[in-house]
Amino acid sequence: MQLIEQVKKIYTKLLWTWNPGSEKESGDAIVKNILLHWFPNKISKKSLSWNYSFYLGTISFILFMILTITGMILMFLYVPSVERAYSSVKDIEFVIAFGWLLRSVHRISAHLMVAVVFLHMVRVFLTGAYKNGKSVGSNRPTNWIVGIVLLLATLLLSFTGYLLPWDQLAYWAITVGTNIASSAPVVGEKIRFFLLGGNTINQNALIRFYVLHVFFLPVIVLFLFFYHMWRIRKDGGLAAADNESLNQKPENNAPVKSKTYSLLGITNGTSVHVQTTMVNEEENSVSSVPHLLRRLWLVTLATIAATILLAILFAAPLEEAANPSVTPNPAKAPWYFLWLQEIVTDTTLKLGFITINGAFIGGIILPTVLIGLAIWWPYRDRSGLNSVGVWFSPERKKQNYTFIGICIIIIIFTIIGTFLRGPFWNFYWPWESWPTMPVKF
């Protein structure tokens, strides 16, 4: 018992700059607590509910944390050199205690993170959560754009990690992936050359991808994530809360008189003041600690357990060592780019004498248009306040159908590319077996 007291004391010392002695002091202390500063003091029940947000943003951050921890251990074990990379991964698989687990968890979390971040975006769109509500100072479209950048950063993180094992799968997936970049007119080849540090994927490319993967991209994601979270609070919480407040009469508190110390002396005026939007606060909300905290704890635990379970069930593959002279058949990009690879195969255009590489249309123009469209969308969405923070608002019916349509197309193409394309990119139904690929013996 005494030990627990002791631990509590240390814990308090670490997280609180000072220990409250009275009720009043506790109140002040809330402001100084790091957790309470991250969380809102109170959270509406709707924001807390499972079926509004599905906690997808939370899950993606937990996955990011899992990736950071497993990744840091793997950094000690992996050697980013063309000669040693493959064998160091073999060592991780076979002779590092729990190495197989670390690698498998890292891989599964990466795949899940791509999927969950994408689903998070779908959720935000379908609930109209990128729209501003009534709260002052809210700027949700910006946060939506930050979210898109985070999605792209997640894809890049996954893509750069894909090369590191230096096996056939990695090598050729990156070959296919980077060649898409090279199809951009004029600068394409140069971009690829800069990205790879050469014309082929070699030591330069490996170390570039490695440094991007373990330092630059994670740091970018971390900063953007903090900004993303901070914006949520500045935007008045989840959009669901805005929707809730619509049915309540806002109470206009009289501005509070205050004194400010200005350069010229004491000035009288009113304090910076955010209008209280929630009237029936008692009824509709609960305190974040412990209710939100417990929820987060639950989501964290469930995510970790699910990730490890999946990692055990689906062991991370390691193919033959990278061999620049043998292209595996089929050679596929990472799965989240397969919808592009699928489109790329069908979009080579011949207009008279001019042939436009499908990679340019499918791999450059299409994604650029989609990203541009996504960034622009919140500014053209003119639906009313009633559509903020509700699933499938009738007012946004057309938008939602368009968005779902695009998503379904992407998903279908991804599924075709992943499961139904065999050797020579021929189409195979799941019940049709692929021709066996030749082996030495």
Binding stretches for another protein (CB under 8 A): 48, 69, 73, 76-77, 87, 90-91, 93-99, 101-102, 167-168, 282, 286, 291, 294-295, 297-298, 301-302, 304-305, 308-309, 312, 317-320, 323, 325-327, 329, 436-441
Instruction: For residue 397, give the amino acid letter.
Output: K
> CB neighbours of 65 closer than 8 A, spacing ≥ 6?
none
Q: How far is the CB of 295 from another protein (least distance, A)?
A: 6
Strands 285-287 vs 265-270: parallel, antiparallel or unpaired: unpaired
* C-beta closer to another protein: residue 330 or 367: 330
Smallest gap from Cβ 34 to another protein, in A, equals: 21
Is 300 in a helix, a strand, or coil? helix
Write out the two tokens for 395: 């007012």
245-251: list long-range contacts, CB under 8 Å, 24+ apart: 245/133, 245/134, 245/277, 245/278, 246/134, 246/385, 246/386, 248/277, 248/278, 248/279, 248/280, 249/279, 250/134, 250/275, 250/276, 250/277, 250/279, 251/276, 251/279
Tell me the HSE value of 265 on the side-chain side, using a 13 A CA sphere.
1
Beta carbon of residue 249, minimum distance to another protein (angstroms, whole number): 22
For another protein, the closer CB: 71 or 128: 71
Q: Rounded to the nearest whole angstrom, what is the least distance from the CB of residue 73 to another protein in the complex?
A: 5
- Residue whose C-alpha is closest to residue 370's, from 406, 400, 419, 332: 406
Rounded to an integer, what distance in angstroms lies between the CA atom of residue 362 and that of residue 357? 9
Nearest CB to another protein, comparing residues 2 and 436: 436
- DSSP state letters, 190-255: HHHHHHHTSSSSSHHHHHHHHHIIIIIHHHHHHHHHHHHHHHHHHTTSSHHHHHHHHTS----PPP
Using the minimum distance from each CB to another protein, give the nearer residue, 76 or 261. Answer: 76
d(CA 107, CA 311): 8
Taking the complex as a whole, the smallest distance from the CB of residue 130 to another protein amounts, in Å, to: 27
The nearer residue to another protein, 101 or 356, going by C-beta atoms, is 101
Reported as half-sphere exposure (CB side, CA atoms, 13 A), residue 10 has a value of: 5
In this structure, are residues 32 and 18 in contact, taking their beta carbons and an 8 Å threshold? yes
Q: Residue 66 CB, nearest distance to another protein (Å)?
A: 11
Residue written as token pair 């009633």: 386
Separation of CA 110 from chain center: 10
- Residue with smaller CB distance to another protein, 240 or 359: 240
Least gap, CB of 39 to another protein (angstroms): 16
Report in angstroms how near the CB of residue 290 gets to another protein at its nearest.
9
With respect to another protein, which residue has the nearer C-beta, 197 or 328? 328
Nearer to another protein, 114 or 176 (CB): 176
**Closer Cβ to another protein, 298 or 411, answer by number:** 298
State the minimum distance, in angstroms, from the CB of residue 91 to another protein.
Answer: 7
Nearer residue to another protein within complex by CB, 380 or 440 = 440
SS3 131: coil
Residues 333-343, buried b or exposed e (16+ Cβ, 10 A)?
bbbbbbbbbbb
Other CB atoms within 10 A of residue 378 CB: 20
CB of 278 to another protein, least distance (A): 16
